[in-house]
Structure 1
Amino acid sequence: MRRVVALVLGLAVVAAVSGFGRPGPPSWRLLDSGSTAQFRGLSAVSDRIAWVSGTGGTVLRTVDGGRTWRSVGPPDTAALQFRDIEAFDAFHAVILSIGNGEDSRVYRTDDGGRTWAETFRNTDPAAFYDCMAFADARHGLALGDPVDGHFQLLATDDGGRHWDVQSVAVPALDDEFAFAASGTCLAATGRDAWFATGGAARARVFHSGDLGRHWSVVDSPVPSGPTAGIYSLAFRDARHGLAVGGDYNAPATAPNGAALTRDGGRTWTAARTVPGEYRSGVAWAPSFALAVGPTGSDVSRDGGRTWTRFDTGSFDAVACAGAACWASGEKGRIARLS
């Protein structure tokens, strides 16, 4: 018995000294992308496969955990900004470029970026598409800012090979729009989809239970304004979601800049401890959540109720595939979480 007690006490001492059993702070490991583009589009497939997209028509892909990156963007697209990318594996991906009129386009590849097919080009000069989300490999949506008072949608049921233009019946507020900051103003899982807004008097979250056919909308506690609101959404399942944002033009302060829902987006509550600064991307991992922005990164281990800063580097987007988390941003910055 004494030996058992001594062994237990010894293990307790080791645990206290080493921190064994308690999660340590995460950290980003910067990778050499070989690019100076700004990567606001990011899709994490696994711990080895990730895609990024950004300025200058740039698309990069890694299949070896970020040790090497291959430039695989469509030809003749240097004038486009690919703000969102949704990848399904090492070979199949869909990218969205943003801008007024014909600058808003969608491309798809089935061979790892060796060839691309343009599957949508916007012909409405008043339309501007912001972000995409896929509920599975076939069903996806792309969100556009309001035209004639209503948000625009693209819907696909064949993996982005064809798109139908739709309009959200719920009217937009005056000056309301979505942010094309990290490709995550729209989220989807199963039959549920959500998108977040800003720009107007209130930052709101729209929800559809039938992948875009019908929508409802609720107010959020995140402050809104001409350059403020919710910039990013992430849902762990049909009930648990996170929202982050702030004001792009005042990145050093963001009161109530993070919120959470436990009822599928019917109600939103401000986090008890927020990042306190503008955040443009948020993502779930199995046991924690991450938020990133130009002034730093934060982690939450309690479902978004409290956030703790762990890095001060600049990132625009974050995405996780299981526990494998990636971040991307300005000047070719790409990182993996350690």
Structure 2
Amino acid sequence: MFHHFVLAAALAALAACTTAPIAPQQTLTGQEGAVVVKLITNSPGENDPAETLSILHLERVLAAGEKQTGRDLVTLVRTRHATYTTAVFSGMVIPGRYVIKTAGGNRGNVTYTFPIDAKFGSFDVVKGEVTLLGTLLIQPRMGTRFVVAYVPPEAELRQTFETLYPALAAQTQGHPTHSFLPTIDLERRAALASEVKRSASLWNGLAQTADGEFMAGSKVGKVLWRKAGETRWKELDVGSWREVLSVRPFRGGILAAGEEGLLRHSVDEGRTWKSLIPPDTGLIQLAHPLRDGSLVVFSRREGLWSTYVAEDVDSGKWRKLGEFSDTRSINVPWMRTMTVSLPDAAGVMMPNGDLHITDGKSITRTSNGQSTIDVNALPDGTLISQTVLMTKTTLLSKDTGKTWADLDTSRFVVAIAFKDAQTAYAVAPIAPGLLPGPLGLMTTRDGGKSWSHTGSSPGLTGAYAVRQMMVDRADGSLLAFLPDNAIVRSADEGKSWKIVKDN
């Protein structure tokens, strides 16, 4: 999706003046203005290039008879501090009237280009002042089509600006703030923002409690929630455009955490949310309450993780337990850090297999020794990890990651879900050989020693269209999470599947 090699854009990029992202202590010299803009792509699938987006091309609007030069083409570079896919672009730009042409990035030998082409109209860069453009929302559709919406500068973006660029914010306090010039089309794109908020997007950090309460986060401030004892799945709005990465039950309500220090609590099933004081303004990938009532937070800024604990969240008093570096895997370089939660512990698993886990008192580092693509925990504390070394397999740990046992599952497994350490279900080949062959729902009742074919794959558009499976602890049924927010359920080990939520 959106894999375009655009020659014209590439040539323009070569000739353009690339401006470095604004540094935290950088101020205006008096010869230029500052530009800050946020961009979010709200993709419902894994093929979302937003994390790779690194540049935003601007073009100065020329007066009649003017000839374009390299100084009229400006490239803003992304600031990466406390987000995954949300992109914040900034730079010092010479005064003039500009339009946004394209956003782009690279992954391997593939170039991603979003041809924005002045869809938001023009804006002025004024010497000695800030142009705060707002938030651009890109909602992918079928094929290479996408909807472009707009959120005007609001309190959340201003907070981002002040947090990322404190010296510039202090220098320009009380000055006029510039933005896009008002047009009918800009108003129309602003009206589309609510549509993007309602659109399907990829869920983060899917978790389940021992009594069958489900929750997950998503982009544009959304939460997926199914209350224990109910069958209806709800999508809640935390009142933010920031990506939600962690959702947990907390004090009889719901605790959501995510980008740029997002930490909010609701006690009325998501109708209203109270902002809590975060330990820092980093990307909070996990905020997990322990059984003793304390709250553990794992937060990342740049490539450094910090672990905090608070006994009284309302007071805003956090104790820092330690720091460690973010690490990637050569085998699966696209994988993000994953989270795992237990009643008395919580941790983050790096894609290279390093597990950093805390009981709220100290941090322990262990490793499964393999590139890791998934990790979760059973109610009895057993950790389950999907890994890749030479081939894909499943590892189990009964001692919080100190030692791991290899179940030697098929390298062709698409998704796997454990009811307990003995019973598990997998979308996998029915009779694998050199090639996978037909896939179905395979079941083991002896901890992975033997598997039997009990049903079909839950993928509605194909056997491989399964993002994740989980056993519903409320009734023992099997749930499969599919693209475009679809959820299907089977109560007969895959013999039949029923849609329980669609987009």
Instruction: Report the TM range for the smaller structure's normalisation.
Output: 0.5 to 0.7
Q: In structure 2, which of residues 463, 468, 472 is the aligned counterpart of residue 284 of structure 1?
A: 472
Please name the residue that 1:54 is paired with.
258
Residue 109 (structure 1) aligned with residue 310 (structure 2)? yes
Residue 120 (structure 1) aligned with residue 120 (structure 2)? no
What amino acid does structure 2 have at the position aligned with 1:178?
A: I
CA pair 90-306 structure 1, distance change in 2 beyond 3 A: farther
Residue 220 (structure 1) aligned with residue 409 (structure 2)? yes
Q: In structure 2, which of residues 392, 399, 403 is the aligned counterpart of residue 210 of structure 1?
A: 399
Taking the aligned partners of 1:76 and 1:291, their CA distance within structure 2 comes to 35
Q: In structure 2, which of residues 345, 352, 362 is the aligned counterpart of residue 162 of structure 1?
A: 362
Taking the aligned partners of 2:426 and 2:255, their CA distance within structure 1 comes to 23
State the shift of 1:39 in Å: 2.1
Residue 131 (structure 1) aligned with residue 330 (structure 2)? no
Conserved? CA contact 1:222–1:270, under 8 Å: no
1:220-263, CA deviations, whole angstroms, 9 ceiling, x for partnerless residues?
34747xxxx65xx7644443445689xxxxxxxxx859765433
Taking the aligned partners of 2:244 and 2:496, their CA distance within structure 1 comes to 27
Conserved? CA contact 1:74–1:115, under 8 Å: no
Secondary structure in 1 aligned to 2:260? helix
Secondary structure in 2 aligned to 1:178? strand
State the shift of 1:44 in Å: 3.5
Please name the residue that 1:72 is paired with.
276
Conserved? CA contact 1:239–1:261, under 8 Å: yes
Please name the residue that 2:373 is paired with.
178
Identical residues among aligned pairs (%): 24
What amino acid does structure 2 have at the position aligned with 1:177?
A: T
Secondary structure in 2 aligned to 1:177? strand
CA pair 189-140 structure 1, distance change in 2 beyond 3 A: farther
1:174-207, CA deviations, whole angstroms, 9 ceiling, x for partnerless residues?
xx3325xxxxx22144352221235x66432111
1:9-36, CA deviations, whole angstroms, 9 ceiling, x for partnerless residues?
xxxxxxxxxxxxxxxx943233332122
Secondary structure in 2 aligned to 1:106? strand
Taking the aligned partners of 2:318 and 2:427, their CA distance within structure 1 comes to 33
**Residue segments in structure 1 that go unaligned for 5+ positions in a row:** 1-24, 180-184, 246-254, 314-338
Please name the residue that 1:197 is paired with.
387
Please name the residue that 2:455 is paired with.
272
Q: In structure 1, which of residues 298, 321, 329 is the aligned counterpart of residue 488 of structure 2?
A: 298
State the shift of 1:212 in Å: 2.0
Conserved? CA contact 2:458–2:494, under 8 Å: no
Taking the aligned partners of 1:66 and 1:300, their CA distance within structure 2 comes to 28
Secondary structure in 2 aligned to 1:190? coil
CA pair 36-140 structure 1, distance change in 2 beyond 3 A: closer
Taking the aligned partners of 1:84 and 1:259, their CA distance within structure 2 comes to 32
State the shift of 1:121 in Å: 1.6
Secondary structure in 2 aligned to 1:153? strand
How many residues end up aligned between the 2 structures?
A: 252
Secondary structure in 2 aligned to 1:34? coil
CA pair 110-262 structure 1, distance change in 2 beyond 3 A: farther
State the shift of 1:152 in Å: 1.3
Taking the aligned partners of 2:320 and 2:426, their CA distance within structure 1 comes to 31
State the shift of 1:129 in Å: 7.4
Of structures 1 and 2, the larger Rg is shown by 2
CA pair 75-209 structure 1, distance change in 2 beyond 3 A: closer
Please name the residue that 1:311 is paired with.
501
Superposition CA RMSD, Å: 3.9
State the shift of 1:125 in Å: 5.7
State the shift of 1:270 in Å: 7.1
**Residue segments in structure 2 that go unaligned for 5+ positions in a row:** 1-229, 330-334, 429-437, 460-464
State the shift of 1:163 in Å: 0.7
CA pair 119-178 structure 1, distance change in 2 beyond 3 A: farther
1:276-299, CA deviations, whole angstroms, 9 ceiling, x for partnerless residues?
124246352311343335411222
State the shift of 1:143 in Å: 2.0
What amino acid does structure 2 have at the position aligned with 1:290?
A: L
Conserved? CA contact 1:222–1:258, under 8 Å: no
TM-score normalised to structure 1 length: 0.59
Taking the aligned partners of 2:497 and 2:385, their CA distance within structure 1 comes to 22
